[in-house]
């Protein structure tokens, strides 16, 4: 039986023709696909912004529409339902609006729905240095997870808990934070417990070197102070232990006697040292006749 020869001119011509046919067919399919993707039928025609509170709908819409003027690989418009690039749009919106906490997107027909959750102004974090004027103070809003997202104007009241960073931290970077999730949650659970159980109204929290932390408070129990007293603790101790030690101070007979006699003289409570708790009252003020 004779072998079929495949290396003939006729076979090579057929092979070339088949290859050309495949390329032509592929080109027709690709060209047709690109043509179809450039038809208005597949375009996003409506943009719906939901969930925003302080962010202006028109501002967000303008950024989305500007983003949509781009194209995918220079051949398919970004306003195409299938090629608008969700990840790219999310990054663009986050860059323009740092107050955005979370984003969800979905398409319905020719409509793009963007659902926004904004960051809550949870606390105020400040750089601890000497300023020529209090209005120059560099402070930033932190969200519910401790991330800094916007510079804050000067606050003279106590709407938010004000925290001063360790002096070694000389600047605040948007999108960064000082404490990890666990430390952040533990700190503010501790703060909330002090407010709830002992009516400690915190004016500010100051992080010091070597893990020392200073709390300045203007209330203890029912007593409101004209000048803040200070609570000292160290971050090497658990907040459970710090809270327990403070509770011990507030139940000591000697402390309560001095507190009841002249509560405005309370100067400081220090629970930084193992097995030892210190508190200090200013000497009683002499009364004139």
Mind listing the pLDDT tens digit for each residue in 186-232?
999 999 999 999 999 999 999 999 999 999 999 999 999 989 999 99
Residue where a domain terminates, one of 68, 87, 118 = 118
Are residues 110 and 164 both part of a single domain?
no
Whether the pTM exceeds 0.85: the reply is no
Are residues 138 and 262 both part of a single domain?
yes
Are residues 155 and 225 both part of a single domain?
yes
Range of the domain at 66: 40-118
CATH number at residue 244: 3.40.50.11690
Whether 184 maps to a domain, the answer reads yes
DSSP line for the chain: -PPPP-SSHHHHHHHHHHHHHHHHHHHHHHHHHHHHHTSGGGB--EEEEES-SSS-HHHHHHHHHHHHTSEETTTEETTBTTTS-HHHHHHHHHHH-TTEEEEEEEEETTEEEEEEEEPP--EEEE--S--SSGGG--EEEE-TTS-EEEEE----S-SSEEEE--TT-----TT--SS-HHHHHHHHHHHHHHHHHH---EEEEEE-GGGEEEEEEEEETTEEEEEEEEEEEETTS-HHHHHHHHHHHTT-HHHHHHHHH-GGGEEEEEEEETTEEEEEEPPPPPPP-
Q: For residue 233, what pLDDT is reported?
A: 96
Are residues 127 and 248 both part of a single domain?
yes
Question: What's the average model confidence in pLDDT over 45-70?
Answer: 93
Q: For residue 285, what pLDDT is reported?
A: 46
Are residues 178 and 251 both part of a single domain?
yes
Q: How confident is the model at residue 147 (pLDDT cuts 50, 70, 90)?
A: very high
Q: For residue 7, what pLDDT is reported?
A: 64
Whether 235 maps to a domain, the answer reads yes
Are residues 109 and 146 both part of a single domain?
no
Are residues 168 and 193 both part of a single domain?
yes
Whether 138 maps to a domain, the answer reads yes
Of residues 144 and 35, which shows the higher confidence score?
144
Are residues 146 and 274 both part of a single domain?
yes
Whether 140 maps to a domain, the answer reads yes
Are residues 52 and 130 both part of a single domain?
no
Judge whether 71 and 78 are in contact, CB under 8 Å: yes
Are residues 129 and 267 both part of a single domain?
yes
Residue where a domain terminates, one of 68, 84, 118 = 118
Q: For residue 259, what pLDDT is reported?
A: 92
Q: For residue 229, what pLDDT is reported?
A: 95
How many domains is the chain built from?
A: 2
d(CA 152, CA 146): 15
Are residues 247 and 136 both part of a single domain?
yes
Residue where a domain terminates, one of 118, 137, 171 = 118
Q: For residue 4, what pLDDT is reported?
A: 54
Whether 26 maps to a domain, the answer reads no
Whether 3 maps to a domain, the answer reads no
CA distances from 49 to 11, 95, 135 (A): 62, 17, 36
What are the pLDDT digits (tens) for 239-250? 999 999 999 999
Whether 32 maps to a domain, the answer reads no
Are residues 160 and 247 both part of a single domain?
yes
Mean pLDDT of all residues belonging to the chain: 87
């Amino acid at each position: 039986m004779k072998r079929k020869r495949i290396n003939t001119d006729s076979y090579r011509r057929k092979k070339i023709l088949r290859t050309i046919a495949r390329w032509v067919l592929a080109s027709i399919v690709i060209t047709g696909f690109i043509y179809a993707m450039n038809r208005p039928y597949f375009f996003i025609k409506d943009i719906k912004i939901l969930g925003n509170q302080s962010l202006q709908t028109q501002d967000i819409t303008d950024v989305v529409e500007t983003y949509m003027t781009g194209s995918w690989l220079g051949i398919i418009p970004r306003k195409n339902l299938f090629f608008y690039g969700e990840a790219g749009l999310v990054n663009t919106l986050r860059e323009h609006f740092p107050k955005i906490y979370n984003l969800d997107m979905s398409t319905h027909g020719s409509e793009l729905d963007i659902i926004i959750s904004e960051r809550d102004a949870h606390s105020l974090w400040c750089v601890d240095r000497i300023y020529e004027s209090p209005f120059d103070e560099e402070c930033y809003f932190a969200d519910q997870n401790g991330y800094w997202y916007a510079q804050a104007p000067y606050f003279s009241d106590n709407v938010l808990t004000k925290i001063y960073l360790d002096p070694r931290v000389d600047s605040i970077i948007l999108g960064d934070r000082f404490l990890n999730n666990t430390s952040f949650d533990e700190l503010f659970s501790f703060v909330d417990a002090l407010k709830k159980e002992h009516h400690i109204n915190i004016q500010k929290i100051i992080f010091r070197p070597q893990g020392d932390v200073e709390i300045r408070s203007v209330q203890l129990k029912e007593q409101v102070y004209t000048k803040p007293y200070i609570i000292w603790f160290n971050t090497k101790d658990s907040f459970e232990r710090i809270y327990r030690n403070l509770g011990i101070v507030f139940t000591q007979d000697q402390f309560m006697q001095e507190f009841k006699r002249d509560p405005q003289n309370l100067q400081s409570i220090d629970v930084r040292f193992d097995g030892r708790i210190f508190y200090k009252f200013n000497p009683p003020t002499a009364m004139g006749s």
